[in-house]
Structure 1
Amino acid sequence: MLKKNSAIALYATLAAGFGTVAAGANAAGTGLDFSAITGAIDASTIVAAISAIAAIKILPGVAKWGYNKVIGWFGG
């Protein structure tokens, strides 16, 4: 699951990368180059984010199922 600190670090890296790209483009008079931003994100970060979203969507149903299973053991 994506931890809070790693998410904050990711946002900070993206913000720093965007600031660097924008400043360089303004100084050179060229279009924006997003390679610093896209280079800051790797496949493991994307997989971790998708896994965190999946866990948030799935865990309430699993918890309800588990609760009902345990209650069923006691004749409820």
Structure 2
Amino acid sequence: MALVKKLKCVLCGKEFDPESDTFTCTDCGPDGTLDVLYDYGEIKGKFTPKTLFQRKEKSISRYIDLLPISDPSFFQT
């Protein structure tokens, strides 16, 4: 999850650590969904169309580097 810089509430702007298991703002409740703010410099260097094409998995897990999920086993069944 190194490509995710932080999570930010859409209502109040409060920021959260991307390693937290928070999906909504602790102050705003369920209406305070969190936007994912990415480190686009890191993404540009690591995540290219070529690297995406080379991944064998053809499901959403091929985008694991771009998702705010700290445990990749989330997708394993």
Normalised by the length of structure 2, the TM-score is 0.28
Greater Rg over alpha carbons, structure: 1
Q: Which structure: greater strand fraction?
A: 2
TM-score by length of 1: 0.29
- Name the structure with the higher helix share: 1
